[in-house]
Amino acid sequence: MAKRGQDEAVVTLTRSLSLMAAIAAACGGFLLFLQYGASDGLDIIDVLRSALIFASTFWLAWGAAQAIAGLTTRPPLHARTAGPITTRTAILVPVYNEDPVATFARIAAMEASLRRTGFGDLFDFAILSDTRDDRIAAKERHWFLRLLAETGADGRIFYRRRQSNKGRKAGNIEDFIKTSGAAYPFAIILDADSLMEGETMVELVRRMEAAPDLGLLQTLPVIIHAKSRFGRVMQFAGAFYSPIFARGLAMMQGKTGPFWGHNAIVRVRAFAESCGMPALSGKPPFGGHILSHDYVEAALLARAGWTVRVDDDIQGSFEEGPENIVDHAKRDRRWCQGNLQHSRLLLAPGLRLWSRFVFLQGILAYIAPVFWLAFLGASILAPLFAAPIDYFPIKDWPFPVLPVSQASKALGLAVGVVGLLFVPKILIVIDAARSGRAQGFAGKARALQSTLVELVFSSITAPIFLMFQSRSVLQVLRGADGGWPAQTRGDGSLTLAQAWAASHWMVTNGVVGLGLANWFAPALVPWLLPVALPLVLAPVIISWSSRQSQSRLFQTPAERQPSSVMKTQHLILTRWQGKETPVEPDLPGSAVMNA
Amino acid sequence: MTDLSDQAQFDIDARISERVDLLGALPKAPLAMPLQRLELPRRVGLLTLLIHLRPARTSRAGH
């Protein structure tokens, strides 16, 4: 009991300190910019721009505070059962117009990995198809039979296709629970591109068995199998920075942790009792089915008194990511709509305060780029609203009074903003070098080089994401529903023409923005170049970054030393795709032995 | 002896579907999942009342 009270005190302290630090940084930014703006007379545009700086700086500082919270703490020891596990667990794999060969190869690899733990018989797989394309569905049925034939797991691997995909992914899971939920105390929810070590699944069950109040346990999935330049940078960033940010998040969230929709285990009874998801009144994008259902499910579990936790120390949990900026933006469009839809739930009855704050954070993540864009637009137009400078403000004084330049304040603000973006990442490199974690990233020097290049790359691509996200927000506010597009997986290289088709509007905006700045506020042009140039070059950047990466930078532990389940998946997939592959006799499991 | 007039036996897709239905069927163990309340019932606020205020109807009788 005393330990629980201590934990809650630490969570409250971390939240309070982080919030205060973020508000202090935002106030600093606000005051600096207000002084800068007031140097030639205060007007409404100056106040507006200062307010936008406040909101944007708060968001950046909040992220930095999360990293620092992660760096200054170590993962706590979580209770787990020892000895044999006894609980039956369903592994749910929802699919929606996915490539069945790749998806089912992952399942075969996980099945083999589970057998190696000795607890394979306690885990069943349920492939929950929401596929709308009949040709893909026919392939799914074909590959399901092959999966059964090769694994010999009849009665442990199930496949069902829904006639109607009501409720989308949340509805798909709900349908499983209503049909078979009582047969399984626990369910591991995966995505079609998820991969998990058998030992990791057993560990998840051990932790659930040891904590009866635990409703959901989220792992931190590591991105794998990235091939393109963009994909590998994201893979590196995910593996190198995310564990620290996730630890900070865990420190702040306490018992009200996150659910990211996959690579997590749930207590089925808790989930069934608490997470029946209603459609919201009204039409999409704000009404209808809840798109980002995972955040809401985490909030509902917490509302019902269950603990929701993210354990950043669990290894062996993987996913795949988009290979190019356009696919990333498409996925982001869906998340944007889902997060903005949460504005309807901010006042939902009975939610924990932190759950409401999580919704607000999700909304801010997409609104913040609009604030930056509005700030840039307001800065270009500011000279139109500025009063002419009065060089003789003192009556009867014959000499002119020149205004004092406040450019140093603007420079200080810019340095502060860049610092909030860069310093956490640099601190993470130092921590990785000190703790030995950098070894997994090809050593200290390579990890530092990778981080520096990642900083440059993310700075160049930031304006492109800013534009995509701002457009998404405007589309949602305009009432446009993004639907539920299937995710593009696999090789995502884009030609220059394809990149141009996706981003020519950015080029236009970049050129027009620079032209307007040159017309209204020429002094602003050098400040705008870091934002405008990447926009003008967006098609080149998008196409170039989608090409296959040959760099020795951005190596990750999973890339350098693929785990056992990754090797198994590779063997099975290459054989199923009809490619030559060597047999590794030390890997057991009938599917693997056939590889 | 194979009955060649029975075309159903050559419909491979249908036979695969049958087999998948047989082997892939999920265990029947239903669990209730009640819908949660996420939205507050709409309350009629003072402002809404004022906006929708109409002049009281009076009978024309007697005029």
Pairing state between β A214-218 and A264-267: antiparallel
Which residue reads 């659930």 in tokens?
Answer: A208
Per DSSP, the three-state class of A436 is coil
pLDDT of residue A548: 95
Q: How far is A176 from chain B (nearest CA, A)?
A: 8
Cα–Cα distance measured from residue A506 to residue B26, given in angstroms and rounded to the nearest whole number: 49
pLDDT of residue B9: 63
ipTM: 0.80
Cα–Cα distance measured from residue A556 to residue A112, given in angstroms and rounded to the nearest whole number: 24
Average pLDDT, chain A: 90
pLDDT of residue A488: 55
Cα–Cα distance measured from residue A236 to residue A418, given in angstroms and rounded to the nearest whole number: 21
Set of chain B residues whose Cβ sits within 8 Å of the Cβ of A144: 20, 23-24
Mean pLDDT of A487-495: 72
Q: How far is B17 from chain A (nearest CA, A)?
A: 7
User: Which of the pair, A595 or A44, is modelled with greater confidence?
Assistant: A44
Measured between CB atoms, which of A144, A178, A275 is closest to B30? A178
Residue in chain A lying closest to B25 (CA): A158
pLDDT of residue A564: 97
pLDDT band at residue A580 using 50, 70 and 90 as cut-offs: low
Set of chain B residues whose Cβ sits within 8 Å of the Cβ of A126: 26
pLDDT band at residue A385 using 50, 70 and 90 as cut-offs: confident
Query: Which residue in B19, B33, B39 has the most chain A C-beta atoms within 10 A of its own C-beta, making it the best mutation to test that interface?
Result: B33
Q: Is the pLDDT assigned to residue A585 strictly greater than 60?
A: no
The residues in A 221-240 lying below 8 A from B, measured between CB atoms, are none
Q: How far is A330 from chain B (nearest CA, A)?
A: 28
User: Which of the pair, B55 or A135, is modelled with greater confidence?
Assistant: A135
Which range has highest mean pLDDT (A299-308, A369-378, A415-424)?
Answer: A299-308
pLDDT of residue A37: 79
User: Which of the pair, A426 or A393, is modelled with greater confidence?
Assistant: A426
**What is the percentage of chain A residues whose pLDDT exceeds 90?**
73
The ranges of chain B with pLDDT < 70 are 1-2, 4, 7-10, 42-63
| Number of Cβ atoms within 10 Å of the Cβ of A266 | 29
Cα–Cα distance measured from residue A140 to residue A48, given in angstroms and rounded to the nearest whole number: 55
Q: Is the pLDDT assigned to residue A223 strictly greater than 80?
A: yes
Measured between CB atoms, which of A141, A157, A281 is closest to B16? A141
pLDDT of residue A593: 47
Determine contact: B7 vs chain A, CB below 8 A: no
Are B27 and A183 an interchain contact pair (Cβ–Cβ within 8 Å)? yes
Torsion of CA A487, A566, A548, A461, to 10 degrees: 60
pLDDT of residue A490: 54
pLDDT of residue B61: 59
E runs forming strands in A21-150: 89-95, 123-129
Pairing state between β A222-223 and A317-319: parallel
Cα–Cα distance measured from residue A299 to residue A291, given in angstroms and rounded to the nearest whole number: 15
Query: Which residue in B15, B36, B37 has the most chain A C-beta atoms within 10 A of its own C-beta, making it the best mutation to test that interface?
Result: B36
DSSP codes joined into one string, A155-222: TTEEEEE-SS-TTHHHHHHHHHHHHHGGG-SEEEE--TT-EE-HHHHHHHHHHHHH-TTEEEEE--PE
Q: What is the pLDDT of residues A43-65, one digit of tens each?
A: 888 888 899 899 989 989 999 99
Measured between CB atoms, which of B17, B32, B34 is closest to A141? B17
Set of chain A residues whose Cβ sits within 8 Å of the Cβ of B40: 347-349
Q: What is the pLDDT of residues A502-538, one digit of tens each?
A: 999 999 999 999 999 999 888 889 989 999 999 999 9
> Do A249 and A15 touch, CB atoms closer than 8 A?
no
Interface contacts A/B by beta carbons within 8 Å: 93
Residue A374 to residues A38, A43, A198, A368, A371, Cα–Cα distance (Å): 19, 16, 49, 10, 5
pLDDT band at residue A405 using 50, 70 and 90 as cut-offs: low
> Do A206 and A199 touch, CB atoms closer than 8 A?
no
Set of chain A residues whose Cβ sits within 8 Å of the Cβ of B16: 138, 141-142, 145
Determine contact: B45 vs chain A, CB below 8 A: no
Mean pLDDT of A31-52: 84
Residue A578 burial (C-beta neighbours within 10 Å; 0-12, 13-18, 19+)? exposed
Which range is least confidently modeled, A16-25, A34-43, A82-91, A147-156?
A34-43
Are B20 and A144 an interchain contact pair (Cβ–Cβ within 8 Å)? yes
| Number of Cβ atoms within 10 Å of the Cβ of A442 | 19
Query: Which domains does chain A show, CATH number per domain?
Result: 89-355 (3.90.550.10)
Mean pLDDT of A442-452: 97
Are B39 and A348 an interchain contact pair (Cβ–Cβ within 8 Å)? yes
Cα–Cα distance measured from residue A310 to residue A305, given in angstroms and rounded to the nearest whole number: 16
- Residue A334 identity: R
pLDDT band at residue A402 using 50, 70 and 90 as cut-offs: low
Residue A264 burial (C-beta neighbours within 10 Å; 0-12, 13-18, 19+)? buried
Set of chain B residues whose Cβ sits within 8 Å of the Cβ of A300: 36
- Tell how far CA A19 is from the center of its chain: 21
Among candidates A237, A198, A203, A238, which has minimal Cα distance to A222?
Answer: A238
Query: Which residue in B20, B22, B35, B38 has the most chain A C-beta atoms within 10 A of its own C-beta, making it the best mutation to test that interface?
Result: B38
DSSP codes joined into one string, A289-310: S-SSHHHHHHHHHHHTT-EEEE
pLDDT of residue A587: 47
Are B37 and A127 an interchain contact pair (Cβ–Cβ within 8 Å)? no
Q: Is the pLDDT assigned to residue A393 strictly greater than 90?
A: no
> Do A328 and A464 touch, CB atoms closer than 8 A?
no
Mean pLDDT of A538-566: 96
Mean pLDDT of A542-568: 96
DSSP A523: G
pLDDT of residue B55: 63
Q: What is the pLDDT of residues A174-188, one digit of tens each?
A: 999 999 999 999 999
pLDDT band at residue A411 using 50, 70 and 90 as cut-offs: confident
